[in-house]
């Protein structure tokens, strides 16, 4: 019933073995005997005698995990389902580890019923190949994970056709496409500049060098964004592939632009600080000149007599000096901001005065809506003047062809439920309204930001400075605007029931006369002669000292001689010498009862605002009217 069982042809086996350099096996399926060549035994580390030539022994060498697959594959071939038998599996070596083997075989004899009788095959050692494949697979998996999990967008592009081959999830998120959609597209389809993209890919394919360029790309929704492309070309399975890393650099460019803006602002700030120092120095020196002029005008008025025709000219000169004083106050505000020097201010009068000087040569005209019962406010008149000036100037620039600027003032009560963010109480509300172009919505949130301006001219500091000044006065500033219809800026300041003391009231009173010794510390010689002459007319004996050191020296000598000075007037700032702060400290050590008056062209200096804390009895901000000087001296002597 069985076919002829052939004995292994060893000569043939050797010839085949030498030809393929693999192990040979020959299995008799009826007897279960297997012939194995020495090569297989050597592969596994055995001698041929250590391997029993039967199927059961052979099966023991197969790795348990691989055995089902091997047996199924063999059975399929024996049943005639496959032309040959081929399977990769692990076999146990003599040291106890496992080696990968590629087994091939084919039935070479069947009986009359078609049942397999004999199968012949080979064994090939593929252990190195399998380990290499495993390492490659592990490496592939590692790089696939890197590719998939990389936060930057990565795409693989056929360098010849420019069609997408692959894209990581970050790329799909960046552009908004699915992978299937992207695979049907070319690289230039994502670019706002397709010609540049094509040129870059073609050049990279030729040179093979890496490149980094910036391009504008577009998403599926049509939005555009700036991108940085880092590309390198490599060969993959005979194909040139362009691997490109894409970064959305919109935030980076925005940050760089903001950094540039900050640098520009810093430069502007440094320039303004330098100009501020210069402005403060000019104002200080100018105030000294104004003091001298006002003293000389007072002497001229006294010499002219009550009926002189020159009195009108003298009065006009005094008024010019007062306006020049306002200019120096603005210079000082610009230079430092300074400590607030508050006094009772009539807002109605201040509005009219500032408006008069704010629009020289303008096509605009101011109209006033000021009630007779408008309350006063406690404020630094110089700084509030600056706010009013800024708002009027802003309104004027909003109407280049001219128009009406309305200055409205009213008393308001702010309650607990008021939308205005102020403490409850009485306030004076001032509004400056124009009928200009209005403020666009996109600019409103930045309107009080430093350096923000929609005008080609200007520093962008006007409104931000106004905001700071009003806030420092414990007030509030706001605005309403309708595009094409106009803008109204309003600010609130705490109100007071007190009435201001008008300068005219002071100067019209007869100046008091007196007697006593006065020591004046001032380094400006232009002040000495008119000061000595005027005070001499009123009965005072005057000496001068150029700095604090000389002041201390003269004061000590006078004390030692028993003829102490009744008053010391001290200039706060002495370039290159001892100034007022140090001088008063040393004078108080000499004489705790010293009657000292501080004077300075820097009217915003903290010492001027808090003179009592430093040991002074009163202060004289420069420039001052002569009658103010005489009254302060009289008050201190009699106080």
pLDDT tens-place string over residues 347-396:
999 999 888 878 877 889 999 999 999 999 999 887 898 899 889 988 99
518 with 633: CB under 8 angstroms?
A: yes
636 with 594: CB under 8 angstroms?
A: no
Name the DSSP letter for residue 597.
E
- pLDDT of residue 25 exceeding 80, the answer is yes
387 with 350: CB under 8 angstroms?
A: no
For 433, counting Cβ atoms within 10 Å of its Cβ (0-12 exposed, 13-18 middle, 19+ buried), the class is buried
**Angle at the Cα of 501 (from 349 to 335), degrees rounded to 5?**
65
At residue 265 the predicted structure's pLDDT band, cuts being 50, 70 and 90, is: low
Tokens 């102490």 -> residue: 564
Identify which of 19, 65, 57, 64 has the alpha carbon closest to the alpha carbon of residue 41: 57
- pLDDT of residue 87 exceeding 90, the answer is yes
pLDDT tens-place string over residues 480-529:
999 888 999 999 999 999 888 654 444 444 455 668 899 999 888 888 88
Q: Which domains does the chain have, with CATH numbers?
A: 10-132 (3.30.450.20), 150-248 (3.30.450.20), 347-496 (3.30.565.10), 510-638 (3.40.50.2300)
User: What is the per-residue pLDDT for 500?
Assistant: 80
Which range, 263-272, 417-426, 595-604, has the best average confidence (pLDDT)?
417-426
How far CA 67 is from CA of 64, 70, 74, 116, 123, in Å, comes to: 5, 5, 11, 21, 16
At residue 276 the predicted structure's pLDDT band, cuts being 50, 70 and 90, is: low
User: What is the per-residue pLDDT for 301?
Assistant: 84
> If you count them, how many residues does the chain have?
639
**Angle at the Cα of 61 (from 56 to 65), degrees rounded to 5?**
105
197, two tokens? 């993209």
Please provide the DSSP assignment of 256-322 as one string: HHHHHHHHHHHHHHHHHHHHHHHHHHHHHHHHHHHHHHHHHHHHHHHHH-TT-TTHHHHHHHHHHHH
User: What is the per-residue pLDDT for 591?
Assistant: 94
Please provide the DSSP assignment of 189-217 as one string: GGBSSHHHHHHHHHHHHHH---EEEEEEE
Element (H, E) at 599: strand 596-600
Distance CA 574, CA 518 (A): 19
pLDDT tens-place string over residues 325-349:
666 665 555 555 555 667 899 999 9
164 or 51: which leads in pLDDT: 164
User: What is the per-residue pLDDT for 2?
Assistant: 35
User: What is the per-residue pLDDT for 284?
Assistant: 67
Distance CA 325, CA 48 (A): 120
Distance CA 572, CA 575 (A): 10
- pLDDT of residue 212 exceeding 90, the answer is no
Identify which of 452, 442, 448 has the alpha carbon closest to the alpha carbon of residue 264: 452
> Is 115 in a helix, a strand, or coil?
coil
- pLDDT of residue 95 exceeding 80, the answer is yes
Tokens 């300075």 -> residue: 600
* Averaged pLDDT score across all residues of the chain: 83
pLDDT tens-place string over residues 432-470:
999 998 888 777 776 766 555 655 454 455 677 788 788
493, two tokens? 């300041």
Name the DSSP letter for residue 595.
-
At residue 19 the predicted structure's pLDDT band, cuts being 50, 70 and 90, is: very low
User: What is the per-residue pLDDT for 582?
Assistant: 94
Q: Structure pTM?
A: 0.44
Distance CA 6, CA 503 (A): 139
Tokens 């029993």 -> residue: 52
- pLDDT of residue 13 exceeding 60, the answer is no
Which phi and psi (to 5°) does residue 549 adopt?
-60, -45
């Amino acid at each position: 019933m069985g076919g002829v069982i052939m004995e292994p042809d060893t000569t043939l086996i050797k010839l085949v073995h030498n030809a393929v350099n693999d192990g040979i096996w020959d299995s008799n399926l009826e007897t279960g005997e297997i012939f194995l060549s020495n090569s297989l035994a050597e592969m596994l580390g055995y001698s041929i005698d250590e391997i029993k030539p039967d199927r059961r022994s052979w099966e023991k060498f197969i790795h348990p995990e691989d055995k089902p697959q091997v047996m199924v594959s063999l059975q399929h071939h024996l049943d005639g389902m496959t032309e040959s038998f081929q399977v990769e599996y692990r076999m146990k070596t003599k040291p106890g580890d496992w080696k990968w083997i590629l087994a091939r075989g084919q039935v070479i004899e069947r009986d009359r019923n078609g049942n397999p009788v004999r199968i012949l095959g080979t064994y090939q050692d593929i252990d190195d190949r399998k380990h290499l494949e495993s390492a490659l697979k592990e490496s592939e998996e590692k790089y696939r994970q890197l590719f998939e999990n990389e936060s930057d967008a990565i795409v693989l592009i056929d360098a010849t056709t420019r069609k997408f081959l692959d894209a990581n999830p970050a790329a799909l998120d960046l552009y908004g496409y699915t992978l299937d959609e992207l695979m049907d597209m070319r690289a230039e389809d994502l670019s706002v500049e397709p010609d540049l993209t094509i040129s870059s890919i073609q050049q990279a394919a030729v040179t093979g060098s890496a490149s980094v360029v910036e391009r504008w790309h577009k998403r599926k929704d049509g939005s555009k964004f700036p991108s940085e492309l880092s590309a390198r070309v490599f060969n993959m399975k005979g194909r040139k592939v362009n691997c490109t890393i894409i970064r959305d650099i919109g935030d980076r460019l925005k940050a760089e632009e903001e950094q540039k803006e900050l640098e520009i602002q810093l430069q502007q700030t440094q320039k303004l600080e330098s100009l501020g120092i210069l402005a403060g120095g000019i104002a200080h020196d100018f105030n000294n000149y104004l003091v001298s002029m006002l003293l000389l005008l007072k002497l001229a008025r006294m010499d002219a007599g009550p009926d002189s025709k020159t009195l009108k000219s003298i009065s006009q000169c005094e008024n010019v000096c007062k306006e020049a004083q306002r200019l120096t106050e603005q210079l000082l505000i610009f230079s430092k901001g300074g400590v607030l020097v508050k006094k009772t201010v009539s807002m109605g009068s201040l509005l009219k005065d500032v408006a008069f000087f704010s629009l020289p040569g303008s096509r605009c005209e101011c109209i006033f809506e000021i009630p007779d019962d408008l309350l006063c406010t406690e404020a630094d008149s110089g700084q509030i003047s600056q706010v009013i000036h800024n708002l009027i100037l802003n309104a004027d620039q909003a109407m280049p062809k001219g128009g009406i600027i309305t200055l409205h003032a009213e008393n308001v009560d702010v309650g607990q439920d008021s939308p205005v963010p102020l403490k409850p109480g009485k306030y004076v509300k001032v509004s400056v309204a124009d009928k200009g172009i209005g403020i666009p919505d996109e600019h409103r949130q930045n309107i009080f930001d430093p350096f923000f301006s929609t005008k080609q001219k200007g520093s962008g500091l006007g409104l931000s400075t106004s905001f700071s000044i009003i806030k420092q006065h414990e007030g509030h500033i706001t605005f309403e605007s309708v595009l094409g219809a106009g803008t109204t800026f309003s600010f609130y300041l705490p109100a007071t029931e007190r009435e201001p003391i008008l300068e005219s009231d002071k100067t019209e009173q007869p100046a008091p006369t007196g007697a006593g010794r006065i020591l004046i510390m001032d380094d400006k010689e232009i002040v000495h002669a008119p000061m000595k002459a005027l005070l001499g007319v009123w009965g005072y004996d005057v000496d001068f000292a150029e700095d604090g050191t000389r002041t201390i020296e003269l004061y000590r000598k006078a004390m030692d001689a028993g003829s102490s000075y009744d008053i010391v007037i001290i200039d706060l700032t002495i370039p290159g010498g001892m100034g007022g702060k140090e001088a008063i400290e040393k004078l108080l050590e000499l004489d705790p009862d010293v009657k000292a008056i501080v004077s300075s062209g820097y009217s915003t200096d903290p010492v001027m605002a808090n003179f009592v804390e430093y040991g002074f009895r009163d202060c004289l901000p420069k420039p001052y009217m002569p009658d103010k000087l005489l009254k302060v001296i009289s008050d201190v002597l009699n106080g």
